[in-house]
Amino acid sequence: MDAKAKDSRALKAETRRLFVEAVDSLHRSGTGDVVFGGMVDQDAVAVEAVAGAGNDLLSSLIVSTGRGLGGRAMTEGTPQLTRDYGIDPFITHHYDEAVLGEGIQVLIAVPTLRGGEVTGMVYCGHRKGYGAAAPQTSDLVKRVRQLSIDLGQLGQPRPREEQVEPERLYSDLESSSREALRRTYAELRSIRSGVDENEMRERLTVVENRLADILSGHNSELFPNLTPTVSLSPRETDILSHVALGWSNARIAEGLGLRESTVKSYLNTAMVKLSAGTRHEAVSIARSAGALP
């Protein structure tokens, strides 16, 4: 066996060790009733670490891209959540035998990432309802993020890059002015969501981005490629921008022309992505991450 093949095997073994340790730790700490996961190999996740299972079905599971909750998480590169796995119409049910065989009702799939690429998947299953499972989601996402960091440090270390501090603009804005601009930003997003004409939507988007730059202090001319560290969908951003104004779910639903249950769904998904325990914490984290002005 040559040195390259030997290093590859050692890296694979160390990767598996980290995954097994993470899955066992999540289960021991009560983050989930059943925790399992594995690395991505040829566009599929081969589950090789399981904790808390009552049978062996999960240990032989191979999840393909686009199939099941984990397949959707692989495709989108973001955490995915289903409150009632057995009847969720928005996921495929290719793996019902293994998942429902464990009595899992709430399932969360969180990808490990490296450079924006999905490298693995951690699943956390709860046999109880969402109300009891929800407090665990924030800790789960945080710990999987740490696992991503640990996995990324395997192999050759990356050189440390000097961080350039963007030029801050509009630092003299008073708090009342910022709040007025945030209300304007949220109102613009609400208007744009109801506009069908593409040219008008694009013009409104330009104004929204300009407001976001003013609020965040980002100089778009010097740093045009500034990107958020957390990726929110347009609807999740709509919802959070109105939560930031203190609006209730019912008022947001009325303002955006959505069902209140739809608003709750988008808000819950955003909170999972942001590792937030409350709606107000989600706003704060989204602003810190550059996903919300």
Record: fold of 175-288: Arc Repressor Mutant, subunit A (1.10.10)
The structure tokens listed for 190 are 């609400």
* CB distance 109 to 73 below 8 Å: yes
Q: Does domain 14-152 have CATH number 3.50.50.60?
A: no
Tell me what the mean pLDDT of segment 57-84 comes to. Answer: 90
φ and ψ of 100, to 5 deg: -70, -25
230 CA to centre of own chain: 7
Query: How confident is the model over 34-65, as pLDDT tens digits?
Result: 999 999 888 899 998 999 999 999 988 999 98
Lowest mean pLDDT among 20-29, 75-84, 171-180, 235-244: 171-180
Taking 80 as the threshold, does the pLDDT of residue 222 lie above it?
Answer: no
If residue 50 lies in a helix (H) or strand (E), which one and from where to where? strand 49-51
Q: What percentage of the chain has pLDDT greater than the value 90?
A: 23
Please list, in sequence order, all residues whose beta carbon lies within 8 angstroms of the beta carbon of residue 64, skipping any fewer than 6 positions away: 43, 44, 71, 94
pLDDT of residue 220: 47
Residue spans per domain, the chain: 14-152, 175-288
Q: What is the pTM of this model?
A: 0.56
